[in-house]
Structure 1
Amino acid sequence: MSAPSPLVTAPDGPAPEAPARTAPSVSARSLRLALCLAPLLIALCWAAAHRPVMYEGVRRLVSADPRWLLAGLGCTCLTWVAASCVRQGALPDRLPAGLLLASQFAAGAANHALPGGLGAHAVTVRFLRARGVPLDRATASIGLYSLVKGASKTLMLLVFLAVSPASRRLGELVPDGPELVPAAAVAGGVVTGAGVLLTVVRPLRRPVTGLLRTALADVRVVHARPCRALALWGGAVAMPLVQAGALGCVGAALGLGLSWAEVALAFLA
């Protein structure tokens, strides 16, 4: 018989510790701080270059009606609530309400630094990724959010134009036929170029078609749930109204003499 193998004993001393996370380097922290302070620095430079405008604006704000300014602040807070409703309605996953509202506050702040809503979309995608939402579904929700928001704003503009006395003068704003030819040519060229790229370039076609399939699947799921559909479309309709309300409250506080309907029509247009 062979002798039994000796027992393996643990070595003396403390157990080895798990490797600690490496802290960000000093250069990375400095770059992050510089990026955070860049919008503030740009705003200060603009204010210094336009001192008369800033002085007149501050003077008028000091003499403004504080009650209307407070109402405008309330409408501004409601825009974050409406944006949160649309973001939640564009995604089948359940998101924590408090964190979602905080993310839309941060998204609104980022929109002041990047044009065309890019700042808000970037912050929202980062928030969704942190909540475990895959990148393709997060991107699809951004597309649905933008589509529904644009459609609702256009619908509200048409409603305001239909009931506004200014609708009788809209014929003066419509361009003539020859002026529409270049715009139609550019639009047709863009659509044709995108179709050719998707047809010829296979590495580009695969992710785009996958994103479209994900987006269509999420659209079906969202509209199959009445609470999600109500949050999506109700928030999209309410958002331009509360934004126009904030602008109208500021106008009333400064004594501009414009009605809320006139301010809303100008904002939507």
Structure 2
Amino acid sequence: MATAITDTPLRRLRRLPWRQALCLVPLGAVAVWVALHWPVIADGARRLLTADRYWLLAAVAVTGLGWVAVSFARQGAVLERLPAGRLLATQFAAGAANHVLPSGLGAGAVNLRFLRGCGLPPARSSAALALYLLAEAAGRVLLLLALLAGFPHALRLGGLVDGGAGARIAATAGLVALALALTVFVVPPLRRLVLGFLRTALADARSVHRRPARVLALWGGSLAFPALQAAGLVAVSAALDLPVPMAHVAVAYLAASVLAAAIPAPGGIGSVDAALVVALVTAGAPVTGATSAVLAYRIITVWLPLLPGALVLGALVRWKVV
């Protein structure tokens, strides 16, 4: 006679499909993140209550347009036509993942899964991600240089980092690059893997740049995304009556984001915040005003979309989009 096995909660948990379990991971990560940053969130929310609502709505609008710009850039990095609705939803969800893992790893992982689901092989998916990252970084630097050319006194870049610290950062980056290059050179399997990836990436980049529509999407989106991010900070600064010209605020944002990109913090949280405050102060803002503007900007661009983004990410995982 067979012995009846009690259906315990642990056994029911083991039978839970792994994709349904994964849907709960983004929500748990958001809950932990919000709990750790709650004093900052509450302080920023109080400051937003006294800000100009129309400028805040403008900041929300350009934040939403930023996901559209990223979608265009992602489409421009591949030859195949991607499903527009799922592509936009993936970028919104990737924003939530990006604020959990450092250095853009969350967004990169989500987009790699999305491209694989669209039928691209691993090598081409990775090549598309690398091309997008290169174009986005180049677009950010080009915008910064263009604004500095038009407003050369907008920012004292030396205020962001002193010469000694800058030299140490450059030397560290050079040593890391040299160590990676030597590792690739002396390990044959790794060398073959890297050379194969480079061949695929270069071939895809040449193919993409032979199609004007893809070039426009890739570089237009890569320039529009940081421009919209800077416009969001400009709108928040205007909402809080920050006594700094709008162009100077945009320069401060681009300079701070370029500098903070080298610091591996989740979503740039902490590194970008500190750099933004310093950049706004060097542009002429008082310390309290700069801090308020950065807190309000973070609420609009990070904290408000975080929970909806996590819900969308969970849904995309469940529907096997990513």
CA contact (8 A) 2:73 2:217 kept: yes
Output the CA distance in 1 between the equivalents of 2:191 and 2:17.
38
1:179 to partner: Cα distance: 6.8
Q: 1:255 aligns with which of 241, 250, 258?
A: 241
Map Cα deviations across residues 71-91 of structure 1 (whole Å, 9 max, x no partner): 111101110111011101111
**TM-score normalized with structure 2 length:** 0.68
Q: Identify the range of structure 1 (138-147 vs 197-206) with the bigger mean alpha-carbon deviation.
A: 197-206
1:24 to partner: Cα distance: 7.5
Supply the AA of the counterpart residue of 1:191: A
- What does residue 27 of structure 2 align with? 37
CA contact (8 A) 2:124 2:201 kept: yes
Map Cα deviations across residues 154-187 of structure 1 (whole Å, 9 max, x no partner): 11111111222426855777855x7776555434
- What does residue 203 of structure 1 align with? 189
- What does residue 95 of structure 2 align with? 108
Number of residue equivalences: 243
1:1-269 matched pairs, under 5 angstroms: 25-26=15-16, 28=18, 32=22, 34-48=24-38, 50=39, 53-166=40-153, 169-170=156-157, 182-183=168-169, 185-269=171-255
Q: 1:193 to 1:74 in 2, by over 3 A?
A: same
Q: Report percent identity of matched pairs.
A: 49
Q: 1:235 to 1:29 in 2, by over 3 A?
A: closer
SS of 1:78's partner is helix
1:260 to partner: Cα distance: 2.2
1:201 to partner: Cα distance: 1.0
1:32 to partner: Cα distance: 2.5
Map Cα deviations across residues 62-117 of structure 1 (whole Å, 9 max, x no partner): 22222112111110111011101110111111111111111111111211212211
Higher relative contact order, structure no. (Cα contacts within 8 Å, ≥ 6 residues apart) = 2
RMSD: 2.6
Supply the AA of the counterpart residue of 1:108: G
Output the CA distance in 1 between the equivalents of 2:44 and 2:185.
53
1:212 to partner: Cα distance: 0.6
Supply the AA of the counterpart residue of 1:37: L
Output the CA distance in 2 between the equivalents of 1:168 and 1:27.
53
Question: What are the ranges of 5 or more consecutive residues in structure 1 without an aligned counterpart?
Answer: 1-22
CA contact (8 A) 2:73 2:218 kept: yes
Output the CA distance in 2 between the equivalents of 1:165 and 1:186.
29
